Structure 1
Amino acid sequence: MGALPKRKYAKARQGKRRGHLGVIPPVTENCPQCNSPKLPHHVCPTCGSYAGREVTEIKSPKKKAG
């Protein structure tokens, strides 16, 4: 037979053990160009700028035909 626990442990004990495994919300900062929220050290998804200069062109969304 395989190894089995000697007793059932309480859920509080399990919660104390997993206390560091919570979900952390991402840190955001405002873009200096367009003032929209963006992740630090990433290109702004709204205006496409990084470190004060435009890096990528932002394409306008395509309209569906019909």
Structure 2
Amino acid sequence: MWICYSFATMVIRMRHTRSHTANRRSHHALKAPNLAVCKNCGSQHRPHHMCLDCGFYNGRIVLDLAAKKKDREARIQAKRDARKGQESTEEAPAQTPATV
């Protein structure tokens, strides 16, 4: 004799109640990060971390963000100029009028 069981008809023996599930999930909430105020620029940053806006930590400059931004803009501008130079050399033969 063969007995066929389906998973749809099974009953969970040790079912978790709604309150037990809610108690377990009560610890899953995310906490808001603690933030400190930068003494140099006044923006908020994580405690014991460098300020991401001005680069100061503990009253001294750790990373010169202004120079870093200036270098980044110079690199981007150089890439743009190089790209414009390539486009102008590629388009130059196409712009000459065709003789008939």
**TM-score, structure 1 length as denominator?**
0.74
Moved over 6 A (4+): none
Which residues in structure 2 correspond to 1:38-57 (within 5 Å)? 38-57=45-64
Q: Aligned equivalents of 2:39 and 2:28: distance in 1? A: 33
Tell me the alpha carbon deviations over residues 31-52 of structure 1, each in whole angstroms, 9 at most, x when there is no partner. 0000000000000000000000
CA positional deviation for 1:19: 1.4
Instruction: Provide the aligned length of Structure 1 versus Structure 2.
Output: 63
Larger RCO, structures 1/2 (Cα 8 Å, 6+ apart): 1
Q: Deviations over 1:4-38 (max 9, x none)?
A: 95143233321112212211111101100000000
Higher helix share: 2
CA distance in structure 2 between the aligned counterparts of 1:29 and 1:12, rounded to whole angstroms:
38
User: 1:18 maps to what in 2?
Assistant: 25
What CA distance in whole angstroms lies between the structure 2 residues aligned with 1:5 and 1:24? Answer: 34
Larger radius of gyration: 2
More strand by share: 1
| CA distance in 1 between partners of 2:14 and 2:58 (Å) | 57
Which of 28-37 and 6-15 deviates more?
6-15
CA distance in 1, matches of 2:46, 2:12: 45
Structure 2 residues not aligned, in runs of 5+: 1-10, 85-100
